[in-house]
Amino acid sequence: MRKRKLLLIAAALGLMAAVLTYTFIRTIEDTGDVQEVREVGVMIANTDIPSGTEVTAGMLRLAQVAETARHPDAARTPNQVIGRITKVPIVRGEQVLDSRLLPAGVRPSLTFVIPSGKRAISVAVNEVVGVAGFVKPGDRVDVLATMDSPDSDSAVTTTVLQNVEVLAIAQDMEERVDKEPKVTTTVTLAVTLAEAQRLTLAEETGVLRLALRPETAADKEWVNPTTSEQLAGRTASQAAARPAAQQPVVQPTAVRAPQPPVEPAPEYKVEVIRGTDRSTVSFKIN
C-alpha cells in the first residue's frame, strides 16, 4: 500500500514538471526571446600578409560568421580585396578590413620600401656619377668622395660608404622590364642616420661618385684614402720606368747589392656584426 502511494506521488510530480516545462517554452516563444542567428560571408586572411604586399586570391578564404561578429569594415567578396596593397600587416585568420588596404590602383609610397632602421636619402648624380645609368633599384653601390685634404693642400679620394642599397632612381622605385640604362639626376639610397650625416657632409664638401657592386659581392674592403701626392708619386715612378732608349745615359758609379724580394703584406679579415647585419671587412697592414 505504501509503495502504491509513492508511485502515485512520483507520477503526479512528473506530470506537473512536464506541464511547467511546456508552459515555459510556450511563454518564451510567445514573447519572442528565441532569435534566429543570421550568418554572413566575410573575407578571412588565409595566411600572414606583410605590409606593402599585393593581395592575391591564395591569401584569402570566404568564411561564414554570425552577422553580429562581422566587423563593419570587413570585405565580403574577393573582388573588394584582390589586387590591393596592404598598409599594415594582416594576421592569419583575421578579417580583412578595407581600412588596412590602400585604395584600388594605388601603389605603396617609398616609406613601405625603406628597410627597418634605415633612412632614405637622395644624392645628385649625372651620367658619370651614376655609372652611365646602369644603376637600378635594388642594386648595391659603394659611395666615393673626392675633397680637399684637411692635412695638406692636395685632394683626397676616400670611400665614404660601402654596400649601400639603391631604393629608387629618380621617382622610379621598381626595376624596369626593358633593362635599358636610364640616365637620371638623383639616386635614393638606404642608409642609417649616421651614414646619412657622413653622406651629406661628403656631398656638401666634395664630389661624389658611385661604384656599382657585383651581385655576389657582400664583403666590405678596407682601402686607404688616395691623395693627389700619391698619384704624383706613381707618375714619377712610371716615368723612371720608360725604355732605356728614351732615358738619358748615366754611367753607374757603384754596383748596388740586389735587394731581397719584398713579401706582400698579409691580408686580415674581421667580421663586423651590427644588429642583424653581418659583414666581413678585409684590410692589410703596410
Same structural domain, 120 and 202: yes
Tell me: do 58 and 138 sit in the same domain. no
Domain count for the chain:
2
Check: pTM over 0.85? Answer yes or no: no
Residue 245 has pLDDT above 50, yes or no: no
- Residue 136 pLDDT level (bands cut at 50, 70, 90): confident
Q: Are residues 92 and 146 in the same domain?
A: no
Structure confidence at residue 286 as a pLDDT band (50, 70, 90): low
pLDDT of residue 263: 63
Picking from 100, 128, 150, the residue at the C-terminal end of a domain is 100
Amino acid of residue 21:
T
**Are both 117 and 86 inside the same structural domain?**
no
What is the band of 111 on the pLDDT scale with cuts at 50, 70, 90?
confident
Return d(Cα 31, Cα 34) in angstroms, integer.
8
pLDDT tens string 54-70: 899 999 999 998 888 88
Residue 132 lies in a domain: yes
Which domain CATH number covers 84?
Answer: 3.90.1210.10
Residue type, 133: G
Whether 23 is covered by a domain: the verdict is no
Mean pLDDT of the chain, nearest integer: 77
The per-residue pLDDT for range 14-57, each reduced to its tens digit, is 888 887 887 877 776 665 555 677 888 999 999 999 887 889 99
The residue among 197, 216, 235 that closes a domain is: 216
Cell 598598409 appears where?
A: 87
Around Cβ 284, how many Cβ atoms within 10 Å? 13
Q: Is residue 48 part of a domain?
A: yes
91 and 115 in a common domain: no
Torsion sign over Cα 241, 244, 247, 249 = positive
Of 190, 216, 242, the last residue of a domain is 216
Task: Report if residue 212 sits inside a domain.
Answer: yes
d(CA 144, CA 162): 9
pLDDT category of residue 285 using cuts at 50, 70 and 90: low
- For 176, the grid coordinates are 624596369
CA distance 18 to 22: 6
Name the band, by pLDDT with cuts 50, 70 and 90, for residue 224. confident
Instruction: Give the domain extent around 95.
Output: 39-100
